[in-house]
Chain A
Amino acid sequence: MILSSPVLWLYLVLLAPASGAVLSQVPYPRASEIVARVTSLLALAAGGALLALPGAGTFGPYFGLDRLSDLFLFMVAAVYASSTWFSRGYLSHVDRPFLTPERYYGLLSAFALAMLFTLSVSDLGLMWIGVEGTTVASALLIVLERKPASVEAAWRYTIIASAGLTLSLFALLLLYRETGTLDAFTLAAHPPPLTGSLVLVVGLALVGYGTKVGLFPMHTWLPDAHSEAPSPVSALFSGVLLPTALYAFLRVYDVVPQPVPAALRYLVIVFGLVTALVAAFLLQQQRSFKRLLAYSSMENMGVATVGVGLGGLALYGALLLLVAHAFAKSSAFYSAGTVLRRLGTTQMSRVRDLRHRLPATGAAWALSGLAVTGTPPFGTFFGELFILSGAILDGQLAVAGVLLLALVVAFLGVNAQLGRMIFLEDPQGPSPRLSENLGETFLPWGNVLVALLLGLVSLPYLSEAIRAAAGAIPGGIP
């Protein structure tokens, strides 16, 4: 009976990473790693249980769950667990790391805790604190390899993300002044009348949280941080941090009374479209495979933002895209981490013939490349299809056209570059096959298969959960 109580799982999903952050400080690296692994699995179990239980409601004045938060909690918990398990092999190759394993696992757990906290609260002020907390917890993780470029990237991330988030805090002050409450559920149920002040709130929140989502032109921290962070952390950044920030914006956007005025919808759509288009073209000129993946994340977030702006079926597509992308992109970053460890470079021109040198990793990477660019039958394909369909059904043919262009350009860019690394033979002759262990290949394969299953059989249960999540949002599908 007690197992069917959502509050139990809500506590567990927060307490697990919190205890991981504290208990992993034991001065024994192996013990620290075991603690982090166990607590991440507990968080995943709690996230899964919340997704399985029916809608929960609010818990006290500050916590609250609905199907949307349940879905995101599960997604964050899953990538947190896989990144924690993937970390061991990755850490072993880092010379003179900036962080000891205890500090690394402690900060990784704190980073996950900040994201899970953001998704568990109904108070928009606490939600802001959670998003800002992700910056504090994750900035030092970027410096793990102690390179000048990684310190520079962490610096830019800290300053740009924090500066942007201050704008969203200002938006929340204005919202509080307008409504006298910051409870997201109350505000969504009883939206305030549309005023100039509310328009300013949405605009500031879009720019503020959009900085963390990676929307153009506030995206400049994103490729640096994603490319310089260790791969398990990059997977968390790309897979779940960006969607968590988009979730925070979505909760503010929910406050706008329905139907959302065309000017506000276009504001969100244009930010998303320009982001997707700019990222699609920028990723063509990348030389580092990690930056390529970072720009691909930016492109996906732009597409998802368009879905949020369009609402209805497109919003459903945006959620499906975010979930499938989280699994696919984390898989891509794990493979990238293995390639970096084995070959010692992130330069795409120096990586060739992976299908012979690292066959299992190369194959997982090829699949994840197809997945993150919306190839059928991956879940991302259906997500993008729903967004495009939503735009066409809404009569937004120009939006659909530009979006399609961005999707095609990104598809060609990512897969052509990954294809060269995987299938082209090394001009200097065949290279020997390198060893791969189960720890390196299991998680990239596991995560990309989840993205595949999301599309292939649409996992009836998870698909239903996404539909329910979209229905939880005013303006979402009925």
Chain B
Amino acid sequence: MLPTSDVEALVGLGILLTALYLQSESFVGPLVDAIALQSLLVSVLLGYLAWVDDDPSLALLAGLAVAIRVLLIPYVLRRQIRAFRWRFRELGASQRVASHALAAVAVAIVAWFIFQQTLGPALPALPGAAFPFVLLLEGLLMLSTRTNTLVQVMGYLEEENAVVYAGALFAGGFPLFLEVVIFLDVLGVVLVAVILSIQRSVVGAPEEEYLEELTG
């Protein structure tokens, strides 16, 4: 059987690969699949740690992560894509794939460096401890570089995956009820985002005269 740290590093690598893929994909459908896969990998890690540590609270979180982040939220997002066909690809993003990918790699290196400088000495036994921090900044990068509303929601979900990942990896004992409420809170944000996204479609893309109101 593989040592726990190897399993953590292996799953972490998979999660990072999904993060890099998310940065360079412009079709929204595959992005939803990728974010669901990333959430699944985080859930697998939670489940594995629950099994190794015999911790039922981690098992509960793994179940919640599967229900909410692997199944429910991707289902809602896919329905959105079907309802509004024009959203299935982010306009212009395909021309920026190379720069997005380069920026993603640069952010990963910077995040790794910051983490090692601040927390590295305290976590020598966890070689993959920097992965969640890298994932957090990758999510932030996605949010700031994309314009498609659904893709922005996925950037936010990636950030939240980073938090759950960090909680599992190096904040053992974090109060369970807090984790559960945070899961529900995230669900609330996504639902509000979807309602707003629908409204955006109903009222149409803001035209110049409307955007005029938001200048300055």
Q: A166-B156, A177-B171 are in contact. Are A147 and B210 (CB under 8 A)?
A: yes
Q: Is the CB of B203 within 8 A of A146?
A: yes
A135-B195 in contact (CB<8A): no
Choose one: A151, A174, A178, A228; the contact of B203 (CB below 8 Å): A151
Contacts of A391 in B (CB 8 A): none
Contact mask B165-187 → A, CB, 8 Å, 1/0?
A: 01100110111001001100100
Q: A129-B182, A148-B206, A149-B210 are in contact. Are A199 and B171 (CB under 8 A)?
A: no
Which segment of A5-13, A279-287, A378-386 sits at the interface?
A: A279-287
Closest-CB distance, B128 to chain A (whole angstroms): 15
Closest Cβ–Cβ distance, residue A284 to chain B (whole Å): 10
The listed residue with most A CB atoms (<10 A of its CB), out of B149, B173, B185, is B185
- B9 CB to closest chain A CB, in angstroms? 19
B52 to chain A, nearest CB (A): 19
Contacts of B132 in A (CB 8 A): 170
- Which one of B139, B156, B166, B207 contacts A173 once the chains associate, using CB atoms below 8 Å? B166
CB of B76 closer than 8 Å to a CB of A:
no
A149 interface neighbour in B160, B185, B211, Cβ under 8 Å = B211
A291/B216 in contact, CB under 8 A: yes
Q: Are the C-beta atoms of B213 and A149 separated by less than 8 Å?
A: yes
Contacts of B182 in A (CB 8 A): 125, 128-129, 169
Please name all residues of chain A whose beta carbon is closer than 8 Å to the beta carbon of B37 when the two chains form the complex.
none
Interface residue from B122, B162, B189, B196 paired with A143 (Cβ < 8 Å): B196
CB neighbours (8 Å) of B30 from chain A are none
Render A124-156 as a binary contact track against B, CB cut-off 8 A, 1 for contact.
Answer: 011011001101100110010011110111110
For residues 188 through 216 of chain B, which have their beta carbon under 8 Å from a beta carbon of chain A? 188-189, 192-193, 195-197, 199-200, 203-207, 210-211, 213-214, 216
Complex Cα–Cα for A200 and B118 (A): 7
Whether the Cβ atoms of A196 and B118 lie closer than 8 Å is yes
Q: When the two chains form their complex, are residues B181 and A173 in contact, meaning their CB atoms are under 8 A apart?
A: no
**Which residues of chain B from 115 to 173 have any CB-CB distance to chain A below 8 Å in the complex?**
117-119, 121-122, 132-133, 136, 139-140, 143, 149, 152-153, 155-156, 159-160, 162-163, 166-167, 170-171, 173
State whether B216 touches A129 (Cβ < 8 A).
Answer: no
Chain B residues, CB < 8 A from A123: 178
By a CB distance below 8 angstroms, the chain A residues around B149 are: 155
Determine the residue in chain B with the shortest Cβ distance to A196.
Answer: B118
Interface SS of B by simple majority: helix
A58 at the binding interface (Cβ < 8 Å)? no
B203 touches A139 (CB 8 A): no
Residues of A within 8 A of B199 (CB): 98, 143, 146, 151
Chain B proximity of A459: nearest CB distance (Å): 36
Q: Contact at B204–A148, with CB atoms within 8 Å?
A: yes
Determine whether the beta carbon of A139 is less than 8 Å from that of B166: no
- B192 (CB) vs chain A CBs: closest residue: A139
Cβ contact of A125, chosen from B143, B156, B178, B204, cutoff 8 A: B178
Q: Name 21 A/B residue pairs within 8 A (Cβ), A-sorted.
A: A126-B181, A129-B178, A135-B189, A140-B195, A148-B207, A149-B206, A149-B211, A152-B200, A152-B214, A154-B196, A158-B192, A159-B143, A163-B143, A170-B162, A173-B171, A174-B171, A182-B178, A197-B122, A199-B118, A200-B119, A227-B214
10 interchain residue pairs of minimum CB distance: A196-B118, A125-B178, A136-B188, A148-B206, A166-B159, A200-B118, A149-B213, A148-B210, A173-B171, A149-B210
